[in-house]
Chain A
Amino acid sequence: MPGLEDLYREVILDHYRSPRNRGELATPPATRAEGFNPLCGDEIVVYIDVDDQGVITDVAIGGQGCSISQSSASMMSAAVKGQSVDDARRLVSAFKAMMSIHEGEIGGDGSGSNDDAPTEAGDKEPVRLGDLEALRGVVKFPVRIKCATLGWNTLTQALDEAAPRV
């Protein structure tokens, strides 16, 4: 069985203790999306400001939840701030691909990670996950995958609203 050190990496605990971009943005101009994990009551609110060039100029995260959902959302906010909507979407795909990587092996509840296509490999250089790699250990704890992807699914909703896919 995987140990707790696989799950509670220092970076994760750091983001949990000091979440980045915590707060709200005025809507409008910002777009707001809400995500729930009905299983545990975790709740995440994502605000994004997208400018005319399709760049995410600001991000804020609200809501409450466990260390994994909160740190994942915090890292996500840091990673997408200043990025284009397209790059953010690629990052979402890459992150969710990482979360689903062992689905076959872990069996059972491969929850929360099967509704998006894996990384669109080939056409672009690989997406760098950086600090987000620390969350890789979560896949060894299948019930926590939903926690890790909650913020990302919510971001996807916000992106789709702010910049509908063509």
Chain B
Amino acid sequence: MSLRPGIADEFPVLTRLVDGKRLVYLDSANTSQKPRQVIEAISNYYETINANVHRGSYRLAVEATAALEGARARVARFINAPSASEIVFTKNSTEAINLIARTWGHTNLGTGDVVVLSEMEHHANIVPWHMLAAEKGIELRWIPVDSQGRLVLDSLDRLLDGASLLAITAMSNVVGTINPIAQLAAAAHEKGALVAVDASQFVPHVATDVQAMGADFLVFTGHKLLGPMGIGVLWGRRDLLDDMPPFLGGGEMILNVTKEGFTTNEVPWKFEAGTPMVAEAVGLAAAIDYLEELGMDEVRAHETRLTAYALRTLTARYPDTIKIHGPSEPAERGGVLSFEFGDVHPHDVAQVLDQAGVCVRAGHHCAKPLMRVLGVPASSRASLYVYNNEADVDALADALEQAADIFSF
């Protein structure tokens, strides 16, 4: 069942054929496809407004500025941020996490200070902290993950002892596990640690309320949320953002510049040096409109249903061959299904599926520490979104037959 009749036709690229076959797009955890509404919002912006922002007094410039700031307010409402001034636009999640590490981390952390991560983090939420560790001598601690891809919380209090920050994903991009952020945040706050949430996989699929979560920072990336590439979001508590030094230097982020120095602009502009991505912000706001029109609760319900169908169908068709990683209970996970298919290497699985027009990702999914826990160097990953339905899952199941044939077992 589709989330809404004909929804896939609202995504122009999904109507394209590959060698005469229907395109079956199952790689939305990597990047999502864009509805016509988003594409048109972007081209409409360029066709009717386009001007640089915050620096012109003519009509177009005023409208462009309003478009950018309107998108900021739209994002704030979407994640229930108390104020639009707490929304910083970045290039993507990766840049947002680096911003936290380079500004908040650089200022507040020193030798022996502790940042707690989990073993299921994306490299984007690992490497910036490794870099800070190399520079500042901070200590990284890791919340372990079990073989089902769930956090092991037995030693949480001990790990958080003396910690300054818990930086953790809300949903795994490999196994789909949804983490209990509110509970983790409460535990971290009890120990005096702040909480930075990597919600790259969460915000596109589950209604998000940064205040209910109890987060201090939260990041996500526009392109996984039906929006364009090139825009991400950092939300941070206003008092924290106010105290943080700027990130990059240049225009837009200053109040005044002299030969002797500069003073910084207010938040959020303090963190947005140079000409911002206005069209992308407009596209992101259009994507949010689209999602809220569908209803985030309906989106989540659809994906939970479809995930359950996929788990059921794939294990029924290939009981002895397929091993799907992650929690077996659809309610505990998003629609991200990493799997092993017999001895067939994920690269070969993806290649054979491609021949049938089915797009999945193969590899370590930028989460090598997690792959190590799962005991595999790589996996194939099919991931679901609003435009997918049972027929896409069936196409995946059918196409896997050929992998079984070629690599005969």
Contacts and interface: CB of A to CB of B under 8 A. Distances in A.
B362 A40 contact: yes
Q: Is the interface of A mostly helix, strand, loop or mixed?
A: mixed
Size category of the binding interface on chain A? 20 to 34
B380 to A, nearest CB: 11
Interface of B: 18-19, 345-348, 351-352, 355, 362-364, 368, 371, 377-378, 402, 406-407
B352 A4 contact: yes
A3 B368 contact: no
B364 A66 contact: no
A120 to B, nearest CB: 32
B124 to A, nearest CB: 15
A82 B377 CA distance: 32
Given A4-B355, A41-B368, 8 more contacts: A4-B352, A40-B346, A40-B378, A41-B363, A42-B377, A64-B377, A68-B347, A144-B347
A121 interface: no
B345 A67 contact: yes
B348 A41 contact: no
B20 to A, nearest CB: 10
B351 A144 contact: yes
Interface string A101-116: 0000000000000000
A64 B378 CA distance: 10
A141 B378 CA distance: 20
A4 B401 CA distance: 14
A147 interface: yes
A41 B406 contact: no
Contacts of A65: 345, 347
Nearest to A3: B355
Nearest to B364: A41
Interface in A130-160: 141, 144, 147
A13 interface: yes
A27 to B, nearest CB: 23
B378 A4 contact: no
A26 interface: no
A41 B371 contact: yes
Contacts of A42: 347, 377-378
Contacts of A144: 347, 351
B351 A7 contact: yes
Nearest to B363: A40
**Of listed B345, B346, B352, B378, residue having the most chain A CB within 10 A:** B345
B295 to A, nearest CB: 37
Contacts of B348: 8, 66-68
Contacts of A43: 377
A144 B362 CA distance: 12
Contacts of B377: 41-43, 64
Nearest to A64: B377
A1 interface: yes
B351 A4 contact: yes
A65 B376 CA distance: 11
A102 to B, nearest CB: 18
